[in-house]
Structure 1
Amino acid sequence: MSTTEQTTSRLRELRLTTMAETYELQAEQSKLHQLTFDERFGLLVEAEIAARESRKLNRLVRGASLPENAAFEELDNRPTRGMDKALLSSLSSCGWIRHQQNLIIVGATGVGKTWLACAFGHQACRLKIPAAFYRASDLFSSIGEATHDGSLPKLRLALSKPSLLILDDFGIGEMSSTAAQVLLDVVDRRMRTGSLLITSQYPTDKWHSFFPDPTIADAVLDRVVHQAHRIQLKGESMRKLRGRKLLEG
């Protein structure tokens, strides 16, 4: 076994896979032999770091379960959508998540609330901030199932753990008393540990009626709404616009 093979084998034993692969490539490229030891070693370290950061980002994105592959670089911020560019630029830094603040995105169906929420989720992952996405109706159903099969503590933990919890389409789907209580518990915990991003077709002054218990509604909304940044999306349905473009070819 050659020295190169021995070294790459040792690197793999240390789980420095990318460094091992890069070292093998260096051995095959004679022009790199002109570099100093420090320069070549620096390239190995940078390759390993880049690979680890890429894997971590992929893990965070998979764990977030974002339904849209959205990114701010692709944001359609035409004036008719009513978005405040300065506010979006500020919020995209995700400082509000680090300060345990919340974000509410409201607007009619199809205007891009879910897409924008996913863009925030993806941006959080880029910044190494764990996120998780749930559709409100699916979450309420999952809470009901977890109540019956005994997995509710596990679900509570999953809802409390990520730094950013995205709750999409709030107001769609019936909320049971159990779901309302779980939501209150999660919101109460997250006031000290993380942030909520909620999207809804309905303005916040309608949210109280979604809860089966007005006392819980008061408690949840007091914790969420009054310390939240807000984005109001306007304009024509983005789905209709995309469909029109496809038809026009």
Structure 2
Amino acid sequence: MNDSVALLLKELRLPGFVRHYKSLWEKAVEDGWSHTDYLSALCEYEISDRYDRRTHKWKREAQLQTGKTFTEFDVSRLSKNNKTSLAKLQQDMEWSHHADNVLLIGPSGTGKTHIASALGHALIEKGVRCKSFPAIGLVQLLQQAKRDLELMTVMSRLDKYQVIIVDDIGYVKKTDAETHVLFEFIAHRYESGSLIITANQPFSEWDKIFPDSMMTVAAIDRLIHHATIIELEGESYRKKHQLEQIKRKKKETT
């Protein structure tokens, strides 16, 4: 085997083959592999390399929060029902292929953003492309697109993401310009792409987000039609963690 093979493999865009064909050939000769065994092993390396590259690229573009995965999440904080719901979302991600939504509702600091980000990481690892936006950032993007007469173009461009995370929807200002583009986005994604939405307010207070009751009802109706709703309760995890750190420091200094 000579270097011309490497050039051919590069031309074919098979970097996994390029990296491993020599070492695997030596092993194949030593262990008496058939040509099929050798080719199969190379293909496994190529598939693994492609998965790693794709996962790295998709996580970078998704802009998920670093470190907020299920490994770092304290599931014991959740109620039994919420644990069951979250386990189902993790184990069977078909919901993301059926344009189902996930709505995380609860006070600040109860883990909504962490769960949303953790779902994003898990989805990408399962080959589902997703993108995370702060709600205000998404609305600003859509407003600019509407001013440029490109709102439908931008929303269609976002369709490449099977799942879009909208974090802190309650922070969107209740103005016609902002809420109308947000409603148009929700309507556009309805039954065509999944949304993971976090909100501090229960649905009964969503009239603070949308300018009139009809729009509020229509938005909620579209979101909950095919959705898993997880309502989080309890003390702010961030506040609790901060108090524990203060107590620990006091003990260390006494």
Aligned-partner Cα distance in 1 for 2:18–2:207: 58
Shift of the 112–158 alpha-carbon distance from structure 1 to 2, 3 Å rule, reads farther
> What residue number does 2:252 align with?
none
**Correspondence for 2:32 among 11, 28, 35:** 35
Shift of the 32–199 alpha-carbon distance from structure 1 to 2, 3 Å rule, reads farther
Alignment RMSD = 2.4
Q: SS state of the match for residue 164, structure 2?
A: strand
Q: SS state of the match for residue 234, structure 1?
A: coil
1:81-230 matches, within 5 Å, as 81-82=78-79, 84-92=82-90, 93-230=92-229
> What residue number does 1:235 align with?
234
| Contact 1:107/1:200 (<8 A) preserved | yes
> What residue number does 1:75 align with?
73
Q: SS state of the match for residue 75, structure 2?
A: coil
Q: SS state of the match for residue 230, structure 1?
A: strand
1:49-60 matches, within 5 Å, as 49-60=47-58
Aligned-partner Cα distance in 2 for 1:172–1:194: 23
Opposite residue 44 of structure 2, the aligned amino acid is: E
| Contact 2:139/2:182 (<8 A) preserved | no
State the number of aligned residues. 245
> What residue number does 1:47 align with?
45
| Contact 2:183/2:215 (<8 A) preserved | yes
| Contact 2:172/2:209 (<8 A) preserved | no
Deviation at 1:157, TM superposition (A): 2.4
Q: How many percent identity over aligned positions?
A: 28
Structure 1 consecutive aligned stretches of length 4 or more whose deviation exceeds 6 Å: none
Q: SS state of the match for residue 57, structure 1?
A: helix
Structure 1 unaligned segments of length 5 or more: list them.
none
Q: Give a deviation string over 1:182-238, Cα, whole Å, max 9, x none.
A: 223322232231111110111111112311233322221111134321112223322
Shift of the 103–31 alpha-carbon distance from structure 1 to 2, 3 Å rule, reads closer
Shift of the 225–24 alpha-carbon distance from structure 1 to 2, 3 Å rule, reads same
Aligned-partner Cα distance in 2 for 1:16–1:227: 41
| Contact 1:156/1:182 (<8 A) preserved | no
Task: Give the TM-score taking structure 1 as reference length.
Answer: 0.86
Deviation at 1:139, TM superposition (A): 1.9
Aligned-partner Cα distance in 2 for 1:30–1:61: 34
Aligned-partner Cα distance in 1 for 2:196–2:43: 37
Task: Give the TM-score taking structure 2 as reference length.
Answer: 0.85
